[in-house]
Structure 1
């Protein structure tokens, strides 16, 4: 989705925020708040739970520290099924979600599950995708990597923190398609449960490239362990991330914005839903969260409640269409 489209939705959400019944949200009292990160520590979902949970507590938006539960499996499917089947009315629970979540729902990868079985609560920013290699790789630019893929698609193994057909996979396929790679199905994608694991495999020399997001790669960039070949943004990011070139400026018009946010159990009480929508909105608008966004390369995406649910539904529709085009689903 383009940055312009994201901005339009962010403006629309400002109107929606006024409609949240704050009296109900204030009257509700959360017990022991918990956030499920549907992947191993070190990835984007883990980042979402831990950073947002800590900020919520620091800002006194929740009464006690947020418990973070890492629940791996099925690229989020295990956590999704657990919430739907076992915790459908839990008022204290939120779950980290992203474009990977909507992508898997679009492709029917959570068997028997659909978007209407949970409550979509709100977003906390958009995390632009990257394509990177290890620091000692001879590849210096995205076009150089693409040339290797064109010459022999199977010669470059690309690791990501989502399943085959997931958001990380789609990002590299889209970049390759925009660059003229013809046989996308021959590109070797290696999935892992979270971006941290995928980068570990890159540093170990088991794969030749990484596709993920700025936030999950930042620590490895700061340490000098990986080289970012391209950021999948319309233009260079602000601040310290501005030193990394976009795919577009290298002649490859590929954009990949990974939204980050939360869903809750589908049968949570209305007062709990209102509470979490209001809490996520307050978090997003705080100076503390804006600083966290700036430090981790997150771009604006301010959507709550019904507006966020409509956004996720559109993402699922768009991803389903792309997946059909490249043969991932029928």
Structure 2
């Protein structure tokens, strides 16, 4: 009898143990304990740029607000305008941990043939903010307004040397061409655009080696504030930011009826599990409503532009088509 009781007790303990183990596996599989351990936040650029600043700010706000308690170290995977990281993401299919930030280049580098991968080779999660393109000149430049630059290009498309950090056919180039087209400049292909993919475009404009730098508003904020560069315009629909940023006129104010949004959003690995996608959609929706996030956005001149996953996917599809039209016009579309 005692022997039977002992066997029964052992079986009961084994069953409890098995249930516990099964419960743990089920918990992990359904993602109810997600996220745990360390996540992999990636900026597909070097330190200090717009992508780097955005994803580090996301990690900081999520931590400060305790919306996420897992570790969120940020690593930089620079190269090919984001293409190096896109290729890396293909090796992480199904990952629940990888989160990367991107902006228009995730569309442009596939459209112009720089990368075989694009946004459809990731899991778009949410659009967060919109930054804007900025057109800056040396402090002693003869150009006082963006209209003067466009008038010079109308007279001679080779008369102004334009510099940018992105490749030809990618964001810095395209945002300027969109504004030039809106200003009535013809022969967009003939405009001299010089690409400094080594990240030296700012040094080139400071050294007077190019006449105008097309870049992100946040990327030159400190140099505009210090007076080393003058901002002729930004590409937003209305003025943004605080202090010196708020003093920068829009292209629209100066009679150029165009807008270019340097939107930024988060993307997971291809085939990210549904539970992880759901977690990030819910968490990021909460994050953008926090005072901490709003303070950071105002400081950097970011306009709120949150889109949930479904709306972000629609936006990406539509924006992809509009970028393709510009690339077709200047002969840089790979399709």
TM-score w.r.t. the length of structure 1 is 0.85
- Which of these residues, 98, 111, 117, is aligned with residue 121 of structure 2? 117
- Which of these residues, 51, 56, 59, is aligned with residue 57 of structure 2? 51
Once the two structures are overlaid, the 10-residue window that deviates more, 230-239 or 266-275, is: 230-239
Q: CA deviation at 1:127?
A: 0.8
Change (3 A) 1:77 1:129: same
Q: Aligned with 2:162: secondary structure?
A: strand
Structure 2 gaps of 5+ residues are: 1-29
Q: Note the alpha carbon deviations across 1:149-208, whole angstroms, 9 max, x for none.
A: 2343334222223221112211111222222222211212222348x6422321132222
Q: CA deviation at 1:287?
A: 0.9
- Which of these residues, 73, 78, 82, is aligned with residue 72 of structure 1? 78
Q: Note the alpha carbon deviations across 1:269-294, whole angstroms, 9 max, x for none.
A: 22222222223222211111111111
Correspondence 1:120-135 to 2 at 5 A: 120-135=124-139
Displaced runs of 4 or more, over 4 A:
none
Q: CA deviation at 1:83?
A: 0.4
Q: d(CA) in 2 for partners of 1:26 and 1:292?
A: 30
In the alignment, is the contact (CA less than 8 A) between 1:233 and 1:246 conserved in 2? yes
The match for 1:169 is 173
Correspondence 1:239-318 to 2 at 5 A: 239-240=242-243, 241-318=245-322
In the alignment, is the contact (CA less than 8 A) between 1:106 and 1:317 conserved in 2? no
Q: Aligned with 1:81: secondary structure?
A: helix
Larger relative contact order (Cα-Cα within 8 Å, sequence gap ≥ 6): 1
In the alignment, is the contact (CA less than 8 A) between 2:59 and 2:72 conserved in 1? yes
Q: d(CA) in 1 for partners of 2:37 and 2:313?
A: 25
Q: d(CA) in 2 for partners of 1:115 and 1:291?
A: 29
Q: d(CA) in 1 for partners of 2:146 and 2:231?
A: 9
The match for 2:227 is 224
In the alignment, is the contact (CA less than 8 A) between 1:161 and 1:212 conserved in 2? yes
Q: Note the alpha carbon deviations across 1:25-66, whole angstroms, 9 max, x for none.
A: 763123212221111222211111222122222222332553
Change (3 A) 1:154 1:71: farther
The match for 1:12 is none
Change (3 A) 1:42 1:154: farther
In the alignment, is the contact (CA less than 8 A) between 1:43 and 1:161 conserved in 2? no
Q: d(CA) in 2 for partners of 1:247 and 1:144?
A: 12
Q: d(CA) in 1 for partners of 2:36 and 2:272?
A: 12
In the alignment, is the contact (CA less than 8 A) between 1:158 and 1:189 conserved in 2? yes
TM-score w.r.t. the length of structure 2 is 0.84
